[in-house]
Amino acid sequence: MTPTQWLLDETGKWLVHARRDLRAAELCSVELPAEALYHCQQAAEKFLKGLLTYHQTAFRKTHELRELALECAAIDPSIEVEIQAATTALTRYVWLFRYPGAPYEPDAVEVAEGLKLAVGIGAVRRRLPMSSGFV
């Protein structure tokens, strides 16, 4: 395997997992809204990590989407506005409803917005080569 093939393979793995999380969010959206929002955050995180992987930019283990978004914006400043608001909104879903004592149960409107934001972050795939099959 060439270095380029390896890089495309590693990037693709992040994007496959991101798409799975997005699908899980869609499937959970009606009956398990808190879990759906968790998967929205996870999808966004993996889309961003996929972009960083493709650009051979190291990142630490984190669920902090704003941090990842800043690293992505350093690569491509044109995406900063596009993803910054979404990352701010989605970051909290990695923990907000995951444990007993959650402050409230999310509703369908919040889940729909979470899905919209995660799909929007998934648009970072447009920053990858068309021939790679990532878009």
| Inside any domain, residue 75 | yes
| Inside any domain, residue 67 | yes
Q: Does 132 have pLDDT greater than 60?
A: no
The predicted model gives 26-44 an average pLDDT of 97
DSSP assignment, residue 61? S
The predicted model gives 43-68 an average pLDDT of 95
pLDDT bracket for residue 4 (50, 70, 90): confident
Q: Quote the CA–CA distance of 48 and 35 in Å, as a whole number.
A: 20
| Inside any domain, residue 42 | yes
The alpha-carbon radius of gyration of the chain (Å, integer) is: 15
Q: Does 26 have pLDDT greater than 60?
A: yes
Within 13 Å and on the Cβ side, how many CA atoms surround 6?
A: 4
| Inside any domain, residue 133 | no
What does the block give as tokens for 82?
């596009």
**Domain that includes residue 14, residue range:** 3-127
Please tell me the total count of domains within the chain. 1
State the first-to-last Cα distance of the chain, in angstroms, to the nearest integer: 22
For residue range 73-105, list pLDDT tens digits in order.
Answer: 999 898 888 788 888 899 999 999 999 999 999
| Inside any domain, residue 132 | no
| Inside any domain, residue 21 | yes
Q: How many CB atoms lie within 10 A of CB 98?
A: 12
Predicted pLDDT at 135: 54
Residue type, 60: R
Predicted pLDDT at 129: 72
pLDDT bracket for residue 113 (50, 70, 90): very high
pLDDT bracket for residue 45 (50, 70, 90): very high
| Inside any domain, residue 20 | yes
Q: In the structure, how many helices (H) and strands (E) does the chain have? A: 5, 0
Q: Does 131 have pLDDT greater than 80?
A: no
Specify the CATH number for the domain of residue 27: 1.20.120.330
Q: Quote the CA–CA distance of 51 and 28 in Å, as a whole number.
A: 26
| Inside any domain, residue 31 | yes
Q: Does 6 have pLDDT greater than 60?
A: yes
Instruction: Count how many residues are written for the chain.
Output: 135
